[in-house]
Structure formats: structure tokens, C-alpha cells
Structure 1
């Protein structure tokens, strides 16, 4: 699939993009705005074998409509590039919608594909560029002066000046627990299954009527799994609760290490506005965050707390919450996230619903999490240019990750569905808190506090950590082995420059080899946000490419 005019191979700069989901799309949209500055002819080759280039598997347009984003329409601000004919996500809709509703991931995927088609059709018309989409796997990337060589599955090697890796979360080696369960399932009648693709899980679940199913994980993905096991099997929700079809599993048992479901977001814009920081507070936070990133872990804590505590105290003034109480809460959060407000799973679920519906006064944690959510752009802008030491980076990222139970909350409707499934006897949180699990001839026995239940299926709804050591899918392992991709530290992912250029084992930039996204966690933060794919990280990468291509000669 080619777009653009014919060009002679030897007088053009060549760019390869390996992996083409939203991150790759955002990067090329940013580059399309800048290529004229290079004064060079440019060939861009995209290597993406999946059926949904531009959207990727997480936003596959073929996904069931019940798989929802955790962002309401009113908060989706994925700005299209200048000159785009597609417009914003809201403008693109060809159906009525409520700004407080949460769209499906499939709907977002269709929008991203529209952005992709527009980019390919008109995005590079103002520059001397040609773009080609290749449905091929890249098996290996090697450094061959003056550029890079891609070794292609069932194809000839290809040479490039620039290579961008935007692979999202590639498959990883299973952790020890999951590997043991896979082995047990292979030798018995038990089954294990991944949460995604959701359509495949739905098909498998049609054979699980009357069986007990456990779900490893109690995060956002669990709620997609619950729908695959219930409404996708013919059940339905209404104001009275859940009405089973009879084709569901006999029981569904989610569990996690702490058994805490995520907190729902406020149900509408009116409630959400109660947590809005003022422009002055936001400006103060931006300065504090910049200072925190370049400080020691202890100084970083003080900077972040100094910006957060006054805002939360103001918001919670009707409850007479003071700065000392907020700072005490934050002290526990930095040291041991979540332990200061942990409840029994059912209590946590009901309390979260009451908070999101405005039926309970906001807690310190809930208010803080909503403020942190509203400051994500400022947080990325402070962290991602990259001056944090590994110790400070880990400290700050752990804080951000811990607050995701509030800041990355689910739709209130999803929490209410879980409660309805529990009330209908379809789902049970009695085994939600780190159950003991032992193998049986038919599956596994889950045990908590003297209670036991046998399950024959376990579904994995846990997103793996972006650990470089667990990645086995080409072309990353070869680059890691050669020391061209190196972790920031044992607990973080790849070390990169602000523009995504990788740092090698000596700490030096690897010119022309860049990585954006989740596998750079530690060099950047808040990488799981869709908005980040179309933000300043993409702009910095595009600026870096233009600067290098302006001065470099093409690869032969």
C-alpha cells in the first residue's frame, strides 16, 4: 500500500516505523507537520502485520462494543494535526452522544483509522515524501553505518537513516505463577485464557456454562472480562439489576493481591468540576513538578506534596479537612500506597459507587486522585524531558502508578454492573484478596479465611509490567543483547533521550534509533494514556528526526 509520488532511492532519507498503533500514528502525524524543514526527499516504511494499523489491537474496530474506554467523551482531547480533514473525536461522531458517556474502544479505533487514512492521503502532500505500509514482521535490527538495517521476515534486508520502535506492550514471557497454571491446564481438563482479544474470549466463554471461572486481576480489564462472560452470553442489565440468560458461568471470582476494585470517575461534568484546580494552582503544580523531577526523592516528595495538599484542603473545606490530614495521607501513599484507605472488597465497591455518584462526601484519596488526573498533561510535561535520576524516577513513577486506582478510574456504570452481578449471584468477591491457590485434578482450589471454592478456568486480566528482560518477541531481544536498549534501572524500562533516542549501555545516545511508549517507562511517565500518544513526546521525536535528517546524508 503506497501513498505519494515516485522517487529515486539514492537521493532520499529513509525512515522505518516498527509497530503502528496509536503511538506510531501520533508520531507520524507530528512528523508530517515538519518534513518540509528537512529539505530532503523522504521514504517512510511502516512495518505492521496486524489487521488494524493506526488503531492497534487495544482499539481494534472489531472489538465488542461493550469494551469501553475509561475516558468520557468530555475528556477526550486528541487533537488532530493541522490540515486534517477528520476533526476531533467529538466532531467525527455520526451519532448523538452524551458528553458524560464513555465511548467504546472499537469506536475510538474507527476514529484512529480515519485519522490514519487522512494522514496517508493528505498528511505528506506538502512535503516530498512517500509512505508505504508493509504487512511484515521485522526479525532483527542491526547497526550498519551510516544507518540501520532491518532484516525482514521472508524478505530482503532494508536500510534506513532512522528507525522508530512503537511496539506498545509486546508479548512477554509469562510470570512464574501464570506459567505454572498454563502447564497445569495443558495436562488436565482445566483452562487458562487471556482477557483479550475480547471477541475470542466471548467465543470461548460460550462453552463455560455452569462452570466456575476465576479472573486474575481486579483492574480495568476485569470489567471487559465480566461483560464477555455475561452480557456477551445473552444476559442483560437494566435498572432492576442483572438478568441472566442461563448461559453464563455458574460463578465468576475476580481476585488480586489487595482485592480493591478501582474507584469510578465522577458520574458527570457537574460533579467532576468540584475537583477542578484553579489556573493558579495548576501553574504552581507545573513549577513544583519540574523541580521535583530534578531533585532527590525526598525533595521530590516535598515539592509534589506542597502543590497537592493545599488544593485538596480547599476542595475538602466543607468536611473541615486540614493540611495536616492531607499530608499524613500523602505520607502513607508515598511509603505504602493504598494501605491508608483499604476496605473489604464489597465495602470498597459500594463506597466507590457512592463517591462517584455524589452520595458520599469525597475522601482525601478520592479528591487527590481526581486532581492528579486533571494534572496529567502538566505531569508529563515536567517529567518527560528527562532529568530525573533513576532513584527519583522510580519514586515518582511509583507514586503515579499507585494513584491510578483513582486517576485511571472506570465508568460509574461499570462499577454498578459489578454490584448488580454480585447481587444476582453471578459474581463473588469473597475470594478477591490474594487467595491461596492450589492445583486440583479439575482445575484449582481458591481459599480465603477457611472458605474454599474450585474453579476450572482462570482468565488473566493483568497487564504485564514493561520489563525488558521478559520480552521475547523480535526485534527487541537482539537490540537488548547488543546493549542498544538498556533499562533505566532494574525496576524501570528503557533509557531514552527526551526525543525518544535510545541510550546504550554506556549511557550514550544511539543516533537514529528511537523508542516511544510504554517500554520507555522510567524515561517518561503516564505512558498508558491514549492522550500521550498524540502529545509532546511525538513532537519531540519529530523535531529530533528533522534535526538529524537536515544534516545527515541518506543511507546507501
Structure 2
């Protein structure tokens, strides 16, 4: 089925409860998180015995619901996933078990559509993930029972308020009342964090969509470009300014080389608050993992899950961090039995290593060497080290951390420690795939990416921008903002900020994200759940750990929310 912007009608059965008006549900945002909620609602409604017609309106301005803006199928294919294909699956196993061919995993879908890419450990173009998610959206819409009417509205919801009749959603053209609203607004269409005190004419305010924001007109060839930020979005910007302009990468025996087109920029100069590099993620196709690792990861997860839960919440450094260190030490010595960790115990030495990493000021050559070393480890060219042990342990134990920390599992006083540690651990654990790190190193070798100004000040002079570090200065033609806002930062005109201002929702103490229960229901100041409203995704980061993922196994909020909606419908029918 292809959805239009008009109501999609099914052969409607007569409502068996004529005294009730249809139950009205709105999805505000329907990227991946909204899709998962929609799929769970279709699954639950198909199994109810309720007797009320249901009307669902999907507000999604992006042209491909399910994919949203981040996974737009039209984006260039050089923008690749940071999540291996084997981990992407739009369908829960309970849906797949009866007809797995009808509900394919991403790898199975690739095997049909793009067979040359259909390997479990590939990092596919984001555009292809968008195609897959968009198809899953259309399939999901077909799975609703016949008492459900769907309407897709591409308008942006600009306002939200509550009255006795329900939740009012306002677009530029109309205001509509709903019994149930699910907010899944994600990255607010790739909005970037603001850049202070820089003339707008000199600034490219965000990286995405790259084909518009980083076009030849916006950033002319041979420009010298400063990039604010030194993480995954920075790498995407580098690829857009090189490979995206006709340049090519060649690989020989792991080593990458860049072949210029003549349309690329002259130089890319990243700068960031810390200058800390982001390290390559191991490539299972080349990294020689020892057979004991899976058992070590499983034991580490069990240790976390078995920790006794204090009433005030777990303390990160006292309870959770020692488990991570112990597991990392076991992994490193299993992978490299003759590795010399140091004079003390593995836990002590790894803790010292990490604290040194956090406090260290990286010179440009230090940062370059750390990136190169991580790439060598990730591709099996050298033995594993402390960075690998800590990063891979954090990544492997992350599902257990999500379970222990989400919904108030962490003590309020421990949030500053956790956020500090997690920020640095993410550089070790959730970096780019090894092949993108190889491309970045090739651009450094080609002299296009210059790390000399990693920790510098941006000076706004008369009609020019200058990066300055020590006595060195470099004039730049454009500043590209590659810093995404924190999940707890909401635009003043956003729906989340409107709800905060009106007192319907609150931030979670310590974490900063929106406080919700395990069914995605906001917990307002009076500690009562807000009937008819749910929030999932990035805005709840902290209350729910690890929202920025495509994994369906990590969180249960969509399923519990869908069940709660069906319970509300049943309760209304009983009146």
C-alpha cells in the first residue's frame, strides 16, 4: 500500500458502540521511533476485542515516514551507518516467527534488493536503511485491523495544549483534538547546536542534508573550512566535501588512499572543546576475537543485572564502574594473554588509563596517532589495547546498563559522574566503523584534513573568521557546525519546551531529559502520569538510556505504550 497525504480508508465495520465517538490517536513524528510505536500499536489492536472505531493521524513532514529525516532514502550513499547491518531489524521476532519472509531483517532485505551489500557486518549507506524503514512503515499500515482509519498529514505540529476534551495539536492550518498523542520528534530534523557570536553569512549552521548544506554553492571548491566538532558528524562533513564531490577512495591491504576530483575543499580544520579523538569500532571481519570473549561479556552483563538496587539508586563509580573495569580486564587478558597492563591489578591499571585519557590534552600528533592505532586494532593489524578493552566492554555491557540506569536506576548524585564517564566512553565504544576511520586517515595523509587547530579559539574579525592556537592563526572561509544538540536541549518553540513551560511534564532530576515511566508516560511534577500523552526517543535521554539507536531489543517503551493505549480504549468501552 502507498499512503497519500489523505485519509486511507479501509472497509469499515459498523461501530458496535455507537454512543462512543472514535478513539483519536496522533503520532507526532514518525521516524524509526515513531515507526516502532506504530508497529506495536498495530500488533496490539489486531489482538483486542475492543468495540470502538480508531482514527490515527500521523504527522511527519519528512517525505518518507518510517525513515524520517535522518534516514532519508534520497541522501547520498557515502553517508554510512555507524551500526552494523546485522543489528538492524524493523520487526520483533513475535511478528517474524509466522512469516519471516514477509517481515525481513535488514540483511535479508539487502539480500533481495542489494545483494552485493548483504553481509551481516557491513555498514550500509543510511539511505538504504531509510528505504528499508520506509517499506516497513507501509507494511505496518497494512497490518491495522479494519476498524482503524489512518491519515497521513505532512504538516509540522507547532503547538500542543490540554483541555478537558483531550490534547489539542495545532498546525499552520488547523487545530485538532486527540485522545492520545505520542511525541517522537527525534533530532528535530537534524537541528544543530547554536554557534555563538559568528556572522550568519560565514556559517553553515548544520551538516544535514549534506547535498544542500554543503553544496558547491554553499562551500566553493578550494575553500578553507573550519568544522566545529570532532565526532561522527564531522566525518560525514569531511566525506561530503570530498567523496561527495567526485573524489574517490581506494583501498590496498587495509590502507586507504584518496584520489581528488578537483572540486573538494582545500583544507578542513576541525576544532572542539576537548580535542579528544573518536576511535574506530572493531570490524568483526578482520578483528580476530578470541573464543572466550562472548562468555566474558555475558558474565559482565549478569554482574550488572545482579547488583543490589539501593532505594536511592545505584552509584556509578562505586557499583557500576568496577564491573566495567573488571570485565574489561578479563577481556584484555583473554584477547592478549601476554599484555602487560602494569604493576597493579587490571582494575586499577585500567582505571588509571581511563582517568589519564579523560584529563589528557591531546596534541594534533597525539590525536592522529590514537585514531591510527584504533584503526590498526579494529582491522586486526595490531593487538588489542586498553582503549579497545574499555570501549568494547562498554559497548557489550550497554544493554545491561540501559536496564539498570533507566527510569531512576541511578542515584541522582551519580549523574554528573556517569555523564562525564559516558561522554568519554562513547568516544571509545561508539566511534565510526573502521572503514570510515580509514577514509579519515587518507584525508589526513592527503593534507585535506588538518588537525593542527583541534583545540583552538575561533576569532571573529572584520569580515573574516580566524582559528588561533598559541601563536598560530589560520583564516577560514566557512565555519561548518557539526555539533548536534544534547538530547536534553530543546528549542524554545518546540513541543517539548511548550509542555515543560505549561507544567505538564518535567525534567528528570540529575539526568535532565524528560521524566517518563516504562510505558513512555510523562511523570509531571505532582508525580501523576499524564493521561493521553507519551514521549519516546531522544527527548527522554536519561530517563531512558541509549535512545539514539535503531535497536528494537534495547527498549520496551513502544510495546508497553501500545498496550496502555489498548487498555484505555477498553476502559472507555466499559463506561
Q: Hey, what's the Cα distance between the residues in 2 that align with 1:152 and 1:70?
A: 34
The CA deviation at 1:501 is: 0.4
Contact 2:275 2:361 in 1 (8 A): no
- In structure 2, the residue matched to 1:65 is 77
Decide which of 470, 473, 495 is 1:475's aligned counterpart.
495
Q: Hey, what's the Cα distance between the residues in 2 that align with 1:379 and 1:52?
A: 33
Count residues with an aligned counterpart.
543
- In structure 2, the residue matched to 1:168 is 186
- In structure 2, the residue matched to 1:288 is 304
Matched, 1:301 2:317: yes
Q: Hey, what's the Cα distance between the residues in 2 that align with 1:272 and 1:260?
A: 27
The CA deviation at 1:46 is: 1.0
Q: CA RMSD in A?
A: 3.0
Q: Hey, what's the Cα distance between the residues in 1 that align with 2:291 and 2:386?
A: 11
Distance 1:274-1:76 versus aligned 2 partners, 3 A rule: farther
The CA deviation at 1:459 is: 0.6
Aligned pairs (5 A) from 1:143-154: 143-145=162-164, 147-154=166-173
Q: Which digits, 9 at most, give the CA deviation of each residue in 1:55-111, with x for residues without a partner? A: 011100011000000122234344446167231101111222233321010000000
Q: Hey, what's the Cα distance between the residues in 2 that align with 1:543 and 1:368?
A: 38
Q: Hey, what's the Cα distance between the residues in 2 that align with 1:78 and 1:175?
A: 30
Which secondary structure does the structure 2 equivalent of 1:213 belong to? strand
Matched, 1:37 2:43: no
Decide which of 98, 104, 108 is 1:91's aligned counterpart.
108
Matched, 1:103 2:118: no
Q: Hey, what's the Cα distance between the residues in 2 that align with 1:383 and 1:40?
A: 39
- In structure 2, the residue matched to 1:54 is 66
- In structure 2, the residue matched to 1:213 is 225
The CA deviation at 1:376 is: 2.7
The CA deviation at 1:440 is: 2.4
- In structure 1, the residue matched to 2:258 is 242
- In structure 2, the residue matched to 1:260 is 276
Q: Which digits, 9 at most, give the CA deviation of each residue in 1:457-494, with x for residues without a partner? A: 011111101235x4223433321211112111376111
Which secondary structure does the structure 2 equivalent of 1:510 belong to? coil
Q: Hey, what's the Cα distance between the residues in 2 that align with 1:366 and 1:275?
A: 16
TM (norm. structure 1) is: 0.89
Distance 1:533-1:515 versus aligned 2 partners, 3 A rule: farther
Q: Hey, what's the Cα distance between the residues in 1 that align with 2:196 and 2:189?
A: 14
Q: Hey, what's the Cα distance between the residues in 2 that align with 1:427 and 1:244?
A: 13
Distance 1:38-1:519 versus aligned 2 partners, 3 A rule: farther
Q: Which runs of 5+ in 2 are unaligned?
A: 1-5
Matched, 1:321 2:334: no
Distance 1:502-1:463 versus aligned 2 partners, 3 A rule: same
- In structure 1, the residue matched to 2:200 is 185
The CA deviation at 1:313 is: 2.1
Matched, 1:82 2:100: no
- In structure 2, the residue matched to 1:452 is 473
Matched, 1:141 2:160: yes
- In structure 1, the residue matched to 2:10 is 4
Which secondary structure does the structure 2 equivalent of 1:52 belong to? coil
Aligned pairs (5 A) from 1:116-515: 116-121=137-142, 123-125=143-145, 128-145=147-164, 147-155=166-174, 157-170=175-188, 178-181=195-198, 184-186=199-201, 190-204=202-216, 207-239=219-251, 241-269=257-285, 271=287, 273-274=289-290, 277-279=293-295, 281-282=297-298, 285-286=301-302, 288-289=304-305, 291=307, 294=310, 299-317=315-333, 318=337, 319-321=339-341, 324-330=345-351, 333=354, 338-339=358-359, 344-393=366-415, 395-432=417-454, 434-468=455-489, 470-489=490-509, 492-515=512-535
Q: Hey, what's the Cα distance between the residues in 2 that align with 1:26 and 1:363?
A: 38
Contact 1:173 1:471 in 2 (8 A): no
Which secondary structure does the structure 1 equivalent of 2:532 belong to? strand
Distance 1:128-1:286 versus aligned 2 partners, 3 A rule: farther
Contact 1:100 1:268 in 2 (8 A): yes
Q: Hey, what's the Cα distance between the residues in 2 that align with 1:456 and 1:550?
A: 61
Contact 2:26 2:181 in 1 (8 A): yes
Contact 2:29 2:58 in 1 (8 A): yes
The answer to which structure, 1 or 2, has the higher relative contact order (CA under 8 A, 6+ apart) is 1
Q: Hey, what's the Cα distance between the residues in 1 that align with 2:43 and 2:348?
A: 45
Which secondary structure does the structure 1 equivalent of 2:227 belong to? strand
Distance 1:408-1:31 versus aligned 2 partners, 3 A rule: same
Which secondary structure does the structure 1 equivalent of 2:65 belong to? coil
Distance 1:548-1:276 versus aligned 2 partners, 3 A rule: farther
Contact 1:148 1:159 in 2 (8 A): yes
The CA deviation at 1:171 is: 6.6
TM (norm. structure 2) is: 0.86
More helix by share: 1
Q: Hey, what's the Cα distance between the residues in 2 that align with 1:427 and 1:411?
A: 18
The CA deviation at 1:512 is: 1.5
Distance 1:368-1:175 versus aligned 2 partners, 3 A rule: closer
Distance 1:200-1:443 versus aligned 2 partners, 3 A rule: same
